[in-house]
Chains A and B, each alone.
Chain A
């Protein structure tokens, strides 16, 4: 289990992580989403033992990661900005990995190279962005890590490769009970991939949730009124229902409510409204909608600017 407790990391005067506390259980795919500069990459580097926190504690399996070769040997980080040796090919990089990482599996490397169809002797500088990312994934997975940290891992990959990478991650998680922590702005990818999710903003976690719970705890109520509908629908109309309203919008006689809480209870609460809704429908939210509504709820939105 990765345990971050009141973790604080500063870069000069900028606080990248501010007393962040999070828990990543073993054997899951853990997604990190957040605004730009929320601290996702910083958190991944702290987990990888690259950065040292100014305050707080970060442990894996109860042991601190910083300068802990035994733990670091079980971690593989695929950063957003990849690094390869100058003029290196996959074979050269494999040498570096063999020399640096205990448990590097050459057979696995060969197998993955064949699977991805990359030339192990081609200069990595000649690879496209997606191929370079494939190379990084191959090298990371060949280490058979227990903790796989991936920053924007799907960036640059075509849909087929994304599926392949997803499948490989699942295989490691299921077969070896590895844990994958993935940060991405591609919420669609994470929605399909993750078991758990954390939303970061300004160095802190807004919420941490299992994906299944995420779709039930935050949902959309589409409420349509009949002929007795008020001329204009507004949030005040729903006040008697005492909903935990995250967002409200309306169009004609139809109101869209983003509500946090229990679905049935929320639907039942609408019975107190006058006039009564003609139709109430509960709709699941996409991860992107969840992200947007949650961020908007904490004031991170540019809707007014965009509307102009």
Chain B
């Protein structure tokens, strides 16, 4: 069946789309098959190398799912675009396609859609194959990461595909196709990076990442692809940031619109020519030559002035080398694309433009350096400041000044709640403004103005003047000896800052709370039941939080305290009295987290609420014991008097405990579900049959149905463990409950 007659306004041609798909079949299938096979090999090789079940319970997300699809995203868009749009590289082909009835808009969009379909389809299949295989091998798939990874890779692939198509629209030979594609994708980023480095080199307290238009902190996902190797999980990470994907899509749409306009106005007779006009050819060769030429400015700036590294005598050879490279790139590009010595000779004078632009680049950077270094407002001139990032040079949180998170690494994937609130709070406290003004006015040699001490800690601060100027600067938080700077001390004393950071997210902003779904299978994340529990828990927390004073709120949110020991009071054993919750929230495009310890100390009512819920979950779990039969779950029996005299209950799997009752005088029995894998010395001692474990659960369940007996001689403790063996936190929950003497004896009998 032939294509329906298109109209002038048609934006899309189904026939051309089908034709595009068909023409790409061979290269797309080849690339796709290679990607999918390589992706499939990763779990298969892992499985073969471990005859057991290598992925049992292991969480798979990010690179595990993506695998070689990353390589595909860098290669396939270019290959497929070169294949389908190469009609612009030969006159007869170009004439043929421009003679087709569909409009040029239809032709371009339909062919792009065909490439996009192959790209996205292959990414979906590659990730699908990885997911399927890992799931078959017993891995835990983080389902939420699948659409995110598809979107993440898809955005990058589409961007590269459109950039290549645009490049092919304004060129007409394979070499110029490729060179201009690289220029479109990389040149703006390269120039802006060089400019930022050059300016930052001249302004010590201005990080290069903060030099640029509009303080735009968005990234093209194409350049973020390698981060799947470095980020440990997807939640809240840069990869999952929708704004980066939207930014990439926006860039893609802009490039696409420009490409479409150029394609509509492209002359068929421009095929075979490296550029549609001499002026465009001039732009290309100048850009190519600027790559090494601009490097001269950056090299000189980075090695002289405030960041003195090399002397001019040492720099000259580098400058000459880069200059020569620039000239060579200029000539080689012209010669290879035009294949004409005459063209090269005619083009040579335009190398002057390269020199002129290089000087102009240097001049603009120098002017910007002067402008930035002149930013030393007095306290009265500053309208407000906000602390965008504390511990700017350190991502492990060790340099934070408001709370000590020593020993606990900050996850790069989540924005800390306090950090986010801090970054959004405009501080106009006069003491803070004065301290900042003093730091800005100081000399580099001043203790609190120098930013060259790699052991000191710094904050990135935005300073807004009353004149409307906004700048970002690095300010010293604390020196290498840990002494806080006047700026940091002023911040600590700022009441408006405290009010802000001690606020809590609203109910709508709280997405989930980890740590309350204790029993596997009893609560499915995202279900109505789970959502209700989240809302109820958060309502409890907020209500109780309102009753706390400032010190207590600060302590709850930020102070790091040792885990509270279980109370000596027997009654408290009736409760799960310590919950480590992670509140996940979303504010705007930011995902953030709050780590919260819920216990008797600050939030007793919430603790009681969660304990009750946990008990309900366990009781419900006992109705279907399969959910409580995890590999390392433990049901232990203790004499209450002996238990409260030591901390052994925290480690029922420790060597001091044995199944031979009374040997250690503490634990009478530990019932453990049969270990599924090979014998493990640590567990052998406690292994009982599955049947015995289930019988033990029945006994424990019967006890749970009664009120806690404060006079009971024995208590049983059910410890549920995380099924993921590799998870850092093994223990999920532990519930201690009174049992009768008879029940204790029956449990003891099970262990013998």
Q: Which of B3, B10, B269 contacts A98 (CB 8 A)?
A: B3
- Judge whether B476 is part of the interface by a CB distance below 8 angstroms: no
- Judge whether B676 is part of the interface by a CB distance below 8 angstroms: no
- Distance between B1 CB and nearest chain A CB, rounded to angstroms: 7
- How far apart sit A85 and B106, CA to CA, in the bound complex (Å)? 20
- Judge whether B452 is part of the interface by a CB distance below 8 angstroms: no
- Judge whether B6 is part of the interface by a CB distance below 8 angstroms: yes
Q: Which of B4, B96, B102, B268 contacts A51 (CB 8 A)?
A: B268
- Judge whether A81 is part of the interface by a CB distance below 8 angstroms: yes
Q: Which of B6, B18, B22, B95 contacts A69 (CB 8 A)?
A: B6
Please tell me if the beta carbons of A95 and B92 are within 8 angstroms of each other in the complex: no
Q: Which of A52, A72, A106 contacts B101 (CB 8 A)?
A: A72
Please tell me if the beta carbons of B92 and A45 are within 8 angstroms of each other in the complex: no
Q: Which of B15, B22, B23, B96 contacts A83 (CB 8 A)?
A: B96
- Judge whether A308 is part of the interface by a CB distance below 8 angstroms: no
Given A95-B22, A99-B19, A67 and B5 contact (CB-CB distance below 8 Å): no
Chain A 54-70 per-residue mask, 1 if CB under 8 angstroms from chain B, else 0: 00000000000001111
Chain A residue with the shortest CB-CB distance to B94: A50
Please tell me if the beta carbons of B5 and A73 are within 8 angstroms of each other in the complex: yes
- Distance between A233 CB and nearest chain B CB, rounded to angstroms: 50
Residues on the A chain within 8 Å of B7, using CB = 69-70
Chain B 316-343 per-residue mask, 1 if CB under 8 angstroms from chain A, else 0: 0000000000000000000000000000
- How far apart sit A45 and B269, CA to CA, in the bound complex (Å)? 10
- Judge whether B230 is part of the interface by a CB distance below 8 angstroms: no
- Distance between A46 CB and nearest chain B CB, rounded to angstroms: 11
Q: Which of A52, A81, A104 contacts B92 (CB 8 A)?
A: A81
Residues on the B chain within 8 Å of A79, using CB = 92, 95-96
Chain B residue with the shortest CB-CB distance to A49: B99
- Distance between A76 CB and nearest chain B CB, rounded to angstroms: 9
Chain B residue with the shortest CB-CB distance to A82: B92
Residues on the B chain within 8 Å of A81, using CB = 91-92
- How far apart sit A99 and B106, CA to CA, in the bound complex (Å)? 13
- Judge whether B2 is part of the interface by a CB distance below 8 angstroms: yes
Given A51-B269, A83-B92, A83-B93, A69 and B4 contact (CB-CB distance below 8 Å): no
- Judge whether B563 is part of the interface by a CB distance below 8 angstroms: no
Given A51-B269, A82-B92, A100-B16, A70 and B99 contact (CB-CB distance below 8 Å): no
Q: Which of B4, B19, B106, B267 contacts A95 (CB 8 A)?
A: B19
Residues on the A chain within 8 Å of B171, using CB = none
Please tell me if the beta carbons of A68 and B2 are within 8 angstroms of each other in the complex: no
- How far apart sit A67 and B268, CA to CA, in the bound complex (Å)? 13
Residues on the B chain within 8 Å of A70, using CB = 5, 7-8, 101
Q: Which of A50, A85, A104 contacts B95 (CB 8 A)?
A: A50
Considering the complex, which residues of chain A in the window 81-100 have a beta carbon less than 8 Å from any beta carbon of chain B? 81-83, 85, 95-100
Please tell me if the beta carbons of B3 and A99 are within 8 angstroms of each other in the complex: yes
- Judge whether A287 is part of the interface by a CB distance below 8 angstroms: no
Q: How large is the interface on A (under 10, 10 to 19, 20 to 34, 35 or more residues)?
A: 20 to 34
Given A69-B103, A95-B19, A98-B15, A50 and B98 contact (CB-CB distance below 8 Å): yes
- How far apart sit A50 and B23, CA to CA, in the bound complex (Å)? 22
Please tell me if the beta carbons of B101 and A100 are within 8 angstroms of each other in the complex: yes
- Distance between A182 CB and nearest chain B CB, rounded to angstroms: 17
- How far apart sit A52 and B91, CA to CA, in the bound complex (Å)? 15
- Judge whether A33 is part of the interface by a CB distance below 8 angstroms: no
- Judge whether B473 is part of the interface by a CB distance below 8 angstroms: no
- How far apart sit A106 and B3, CA to CA, in the bound complex (Å)? 12
Please tell me if the beta carbons of B2 and A103 are within 8 angstroms of each other in the complex: yes
Q: Which of B8, B90, B100 contacts A100 (CB 8 A)?
A: B100
- How far apart sit A83 and B15, CA to CA, in the bound complex (Å)? 19
Q: Which of A51, A77, A83, A101 contacts B2 (CB 8 A)?
A: A101
Residues on the B chain within 8 Å of A72, using CB = 99-101
Residues on the B chain within 8 Å of A103, using CB = 2, 5
Q: Which of B18, B22, B100, B103 contacts A101 (CB 8 A)?
A: B100
Please tell me if the beta carbons of A11 and B103 are within 8 angstroms of each other in the complex: no
- How far apart sit A231 and B690, CA to CA, in the bound complex (Å)? 134
Residues on the B chain within 8 Å of A73, using CB = 5-6, 101
- How far apart sit A254 and B13, CA to CA, in the bound complex (Å)? 68
Residues on the A chain within 8 Å of B100, using CB = 72, 100-101
- How far apart sit A11 and B267, CA to CA, in the bound complex (Å)? 10
- How far apart sit A67 and B269, CA to CA, in the bound complex (Å)? 16
Please tell me if the beta carbons of B95 and A83 are within 8 angstroms of each other in the complex: yes
- Judge whether B104 is part of the interface by a CB distance below 8 angstroms: yes
Chain A 117-145 per-residue mask, 1 if CB under 8 angstroms from chain B, else 0: 00000000000000000000000000000
Given A81-B91, A83-B95, A100 and B22 contact (CB-CB distance below 8 Å): no
- How far apart sit A77 and B90, CA to CA, in the bound complex (Å)? 17
- How far apart sit A85 and B87, CA to CA, in the bound complex (Å)? 10
- How far apart sit A99 and B13, CA to CA, in the bound complex (Å)? 9
- How far apart sit A49 and B100, CA to CA, in the bound complex (Å)? 9
- Distance between B346 CB and nearest chain A CB, rounded to angstroms: 14
Please tell me if the beta carbons of B8 and A45 are within 8 angstroms of each other in the complex: no
Please tell me if the beta carbons of A98 and B1 are within 8 angstroms of each other in the complex: yes
- Judge whether A102 is part of the interface by a CB distance below 8 angstroms: yes
- Judge whether A48 is part of the interface by a CB distance below 8 angstroms: yes
Looking at B2, B5, B13, B269, the one whose CB has the most chain A CB atoms below 10 A away is: B2
Please tell me if the beta carbons of A101 and B3 are within 8 angstroms of each other in the complex: yes
What are 8 A-B pairs at a CB distance below 8 A?
A: A48-B99, A69-B103, A70-B101, A73-B5, A97-B2, A101-B101, A102-B4, A103-B5
* 6 extra interface residue pairs, beta carbon distance < 8 Å, beyond A95-B22, A98-B1: A52-B267, A67-B103, A69-B10, A70-B5, A83-B95, A98-B2
